[in-house]
Amino acid sequence: MFAAALNRIETSASAVMTQRARAMRAAGRDVLALSMGQPDFDTPEHVKDAAKAAMDRGETGYPPLAGTEVLKRAVQEKFRRENNLDYALDQILVSNGGKQVIFNAFAATLNPGDEVIVPAPYWVSYPDIVKYAGGTPVFVPTEFQNGFRLTPEALRGALTPRTRWLVINSPNNPSGGCYRPADLTALAAVLADYPEVRVLTDDIYEHLVFDGAFATIAAVAPAIADRVLTMNGVSKAYAMTGWRIGYCAGPVDLIKAMTKIQSQSTSNPTSISQWAAVEALNGPQDFIAANNAMFKRRRDMVVKMLNAAEGIDCITPEGAFYVYPSCAGCIGKTAPDGMQIDTDEAFATALLEAEGVAVVHGAAFGLSPFFRISYATSDENLTEACTRIQRFCASLV
DSSP state string for 40-91: SSPPPHHHHHHHHHHHHTT--S---TT--HHHHHHHHHHHHHHH-----GGG
Alpha carbon separation from 79 to 57, 86, 99, 219, 274 (Å, rounded) = 28, 7, 19, 10, 17
What are the DSSP E strand ranges found in 193-262? 198-202, 228-233, 246-249
Angle at 300 between CA 298 and CA 302, to 5 degrees: 65
pLDDT of amino acid 300:
98
d(C-alpha 302, C-alpha 378), whole Å: 11
User: What counts of helices (H) and strands (E) characterise the chain?
Assistant: 13, 14
Residues with Cβ within 8 Å of residue 380, at least 6 apart in sequence:
none
pLDDT of amino acid 331:
98
pLDDT of amino acid 338:
93
Q: What are phi and psi of 89, to 5 degrees?
A: -60, -35
β partners of residue 209: 319
**Segments in the chain below pLDDT 50:** none
The overall pTM is greater than 0.85: yes
Answer positive or negative: Cα dihedral of 370, 168, 270, 104.
negative
| Exposed / middle / buried, residue 169 (Cβ in 10 Å: 0-12, 13-18, 19+) | buried
8 A C-beta contact, residue 135 and residue 118: no
Alpha carbon separation from 112 to 81, 159, 252, 256, 305 (Å, rounded) = 39, 17, 24, 21, 46
Tell me 9's DSSP state: -
pLDDT of amino acid 19:
83
Alpha carbon separation from 272 to 61, 193, 290 (Å, rounded) = 9, 44, 27
pLDDT of amino acid 42:
94
